[in-house]
Structure 1
Amino acid sequence: MDARDLERLVTLAMPFGKYKGRLIADLPGHYLNWFAREGFPPGEIGRLLALMQELDHNGLRVLLDPLRAR
């Protein structure tokens, strides 16, 4: 993981699907868990979704709060 990935979570919107347009950091846990079960898409978006799922699963969403304040 690169530190820039955390910033991308709070700035990049979901480009497709049910939650299209919502920030990756704001995606609900059940949606992230669905990707974990079914498979993350390839490329950057998949990598970021996997990172967000890991943060959510471990109760670490609060780590993104300081980045949102910027």
Structure 2
Amino acid sequence: MNKELNVEPLAYAVKDAARTLGIGTTKFYELMNDGTIPSFKIGKRTLIRHADLVAFIDDQSKAA
């Protein structure tokens, strides 16, 4: 019997990470390029850790 697991991703592709934050990919690339949101590569894919997205949101809410 196969059950589908409802598991949160550990990392997102850029497009998915931007969608998760509710911003465009251009703005997301700006945040990555200035070091605000860390990223890493596996092969040609650029990925962003779920924990880094959560930390970004936490930092933004504290600054507001």
* TM-score, length basis structure 1: 0.27
Q: Larger % of strand: which?
A: 2
Point out the structure with max Rg over C-alpha. Answer: 2
